[in-house]
Amino acid sequence: MGSSIFLRTLLLALLPCTALASWRKDSTNPVRQLVEEKRALLKRRTLERRDVSSKYLVNGTDIPFVDWDLGESYAGLMPISKEANETRELFFWYFPSTNQNASDEVTIWMNGGPGCSSWIGLIEENGPFTWFPGAFRPVYNIYSWSQLSNMLFIDQPAGTGFSVGDFNGTTEEEIAEQFLGFYDNWMETFDTKGRQTYLTGESYAGFYIPYIGDAMIQSDHCADYNLAGSLMFSPYIRSIPNDFGQNAVTKPYVDTYNNVMGLYPGVGDPVDFYQAITTADEECGYAEMREKYFTFPPSGTFPTGNLSAECQISLMVYAGLAEVSPCSNIYHISQGCPHPSDPLSFGQYSDNASIPLGFDKKTWHGYPNMPQMRNAVHIPTDQKDWQMCTDEDPFGPASDQSLDPFTSGALTRIIEHTNNIIIASGEQDYRVPTNGTLMVLQNMTWNGQQGFSEFPSKTFFLPRTFSDVSSQSSSGKIGDWVEQRGLNFARVYAAGHELPQYAQGAGYRLLEKLLGRVSNLTSDAMFSALPGDFSPPPSNETMPGMNGTRSD
């Protein structure tokens, strides 16, 4: 038996590239059969190691509208402490990876809000199957992050999504404490203590992640968590309405993108609106601030603190966009009406047009709430309904009472601990403008120096894939980046707030960078671990940049 396995392994190693490239195309190909046998063996061994977690095992053939076997995954509710009477439990869905490079790591995904479910990321961004807004049914996601790493999606804090109980907290420190209580139980159940942990998420997760990561490295059990890095998309790292940096970039942003935002001319008296934000930009000192402080390297620190209502230009623009059109989308400025149907929409979040085709608003309560789905992920039918986002702020009427992670130093500390933090923004996102985030970072000191010494100008490059349309991603130069002293900042031109949704290939590449699977974002190496044949079509006449390599 041992010699047989050795010979098969040797055979795979000696096969020519042409044979390896063609194995996926022929189900009877012996190479494919060998690989499938290897995958099946790995799956059996993985399942044998996880007997203790069997009650969470998901039947991969029982996911509604998914007409293929989803493979090994685990889902359900787990308490946030070891107290016998603990009633607060967080929902998770865990997808172990068959990627051999992922054997010693866990990558956690969380959405923001606060109070928004990570089903948003799972279903519409980076999960093993995606049901994009406007699509008729879920499809297989070739850019699933579970092909790179063991992926753990979590609804947190308590009360979010399928998670049960009340958070009953007012600070990020309490968020972190409850999260680590859950994660301790989860690591014990799945025997992952000591594995490298990567924290990823978007939007308000920019508050969650630095505090959770900081709690990990400050813990007496730091080695159990083994925080190795973080990837945050369009993160809140400052309170936007009251942030000098975010408001300072508003006027230039509107000037640049008014062709799609339509704020002036076009809102009431266009001269008055243009004059109003121009006057505020000057009188609040933003024009001077940009000239003096938005420099590379930075010339010093700029003021922080609360702004007067007259100086909150970002809110003025929100109001202006609402007047221009009820379809204005601050999360992706180039999108408008009609709104595509959304499988996660229901009730107060939707109208009939946004319900997936073939369903009725009266009976449709969101994809996760389907009885078959609830049964598959071990959610009792008599338990509360899933919601995309909670009706009320989890922190209560006064909202989050914590200092932002920039001011508290939590963000600085996780950078200096891991030297592996990536912040990525979509240029089409007005909710958290790219240059606003960059300006905040220019005001921050980490690893002994303030800000970046150079503007993000290195090419963010994606290789061209050659396959059917469903697997296509943007290719070539799709953005730019800079990396210094353990912090990488990247910008993607065509993406909005939910970057892995609008730019799947970019999100996938950024995770590769976080995990160390690619050296930098300018690399022209083909994506790793994608299923399918992505080799160029046979031709002697390929256009520049169409052969999977850079043409500049």
Q: Is residue 333 exposed (0-12), middle (13-18) or buried (19+ Cβ within 10 Å)?
A: buried
Residue 144 amino acid letter? S
Average pLDDT value for residue range 194-221: 97
350-399 residue pLDDT tens: 444 455 555 555 556 788 999 999 999 999 988 889 989 998 888 888 88
- 396: region left, alpha or beta (phi > 0 left; psi from -120 to 50 alpha): left
Average pLDDT value for residue range 47-66: 81
pLDDT of 260 = 87
Work out the pLDDT band at 262, boundaries 50, 70, 90.
confident
Average pLDDT value for residue range 324-338: 85
pLDDT of 268 = 53
- Look over the chain and give the mean of its residue pLDDT values, rounded to a whole number: 83
Q: How does strand 445-446 pair with strand 421-426? A: unpaired
Work out the pLDDT band at 466, boundaries 50, 70, 90.
low
Q: What is the pTM of this model?
A: 0.85
Work out the pLDDT band at 307, boundaries 50, 70, 90.
confident
Q: Nearest-5° angle of CA 146, CA 206, CA 405?
A: 140
Domain residue limits, the chain? 2-48, 78-238+400-515, 242-324
Work out the pLDDT band at 136, boundaries 50, 70, 90.
confident
With a cut of 60, say whether residue 72 has pLDDT above it. yes
Average pLDDT value for residue range 436-449: 95
With a cut of 90, say whether residue 472 has pLDDT above it. no
Structure-model confidence comparison of residues 475 and 173, the more confident one: 173
95-130 residue pLDDT tens: 999 899 999 999 999 999 899 999 999 999 999 999
Catalytic site includes residue 97: no
With a cut of 80, say whether residue 161 has pLDDT above it. yes
Fold of 78-238+400-515: Rossmann fold (3.40.50)
> Exposure string (b/e) for 397-408, b if CB count within 10 Å is 16 or more?
eeebebebbbeb
The proportion of the chain whose per-residue pLDDT surpasses 70, expressed as a percent, equals 80
Query: What is the CB-side half-sphere exposure of residue 83 using CA atoms within 13 A?
Result: 9
The Cα–Cα gap between 437 and 343 comes to 31
Residue (of 118, 105, 111) closest to 198 by Cα position: 105
Work out the pLDDT band at 455, boundaries 50, 70, 90.
very high
The proportion of the chain whose per-residue pLDDT surpasses 90, expressed as a percent, equals 56
Asked if 507 contacts 126 with a C-beta cutoff of 8 angstroms, the reply is yes
Residue 402 amino acid letter? S
Catalytic site includes residue 417: no
Asked if 344 contacts 367 with a C-beta cutoff of 8 angstroms, the reply is yes
What does the longest C-alpha to C-alpha distance in the chain come to?
A: 82
Check the CA dihedral 129-132-136-142 and report its sign: negative
The Cα–Cα gap between 15 and 28 comes to 16
With a cut of 50, say whether residue 545 has pLDDT above it. no
With a cut of 50, say whether residue 9 has pLDDT above it. no
Average pLDDT value for residue range 181-191: 96
pLDDT of 381 = 85
250-261 and 434-442 helices cross at what angle (nearest 10)?
A: 170
Q: Which of 203, 230, 328, 354 is catalytic?
A: 203
What does the H/E/C string look like for 329-390?
CCCCCCCCCCCCCCCCCCHHHCCHHHCCCCCCCCCCCCHHHCHHHHHHCCCCCCCCCCCCEC
Peptide bond into 265 cis (omega under 30): yes
pLDDT of 39 = 47
Average pLDDT value for residue range 28-57: 55
Q: Would you state the structure tokens that stand for residue 374, as one six-digit string?
A: 């609830």
Structure-model confidence comparison of residues 435 and 358, the more confident one: 435
Q: Which of 184, 243, 429, 480 is catalytic?
A: 429
- How big is the chain, counted in residues? 552
Range in 127-136, 212-221, 295-304, 343-352 with the lowest mean pLDDT: 343-352
Distance between alpha carbon 202 and the CA centroid of its chain, in Å? Answer: 5
Q: Is residue 140 exposed (0-12), middle (13-18) or buried (19+ Cβ within 10 Å)?
A: middle
pLDDT of 308 = 84
Three-state SS for 427?
coil
Catalytic site includes residue 339: no
Work out the pLDDT band at 534, boundaries 50, 70, 90.
low
pLDDT of 5 = 38
Three-state SS for 397?
coil
pLDDT of 540 = 44
Q: Which of 73, 163, 350, 497 is catalytic?
A: 497
pLDDT of 368 = 92
pLDDT of 344 = 79
Range in 81-85, 147-151, 239-243, 450-454 with the lowest mean pLDDT: 239-243
313-324 and 250-261 helices cross at what angle (nearest 10)?
A: 10
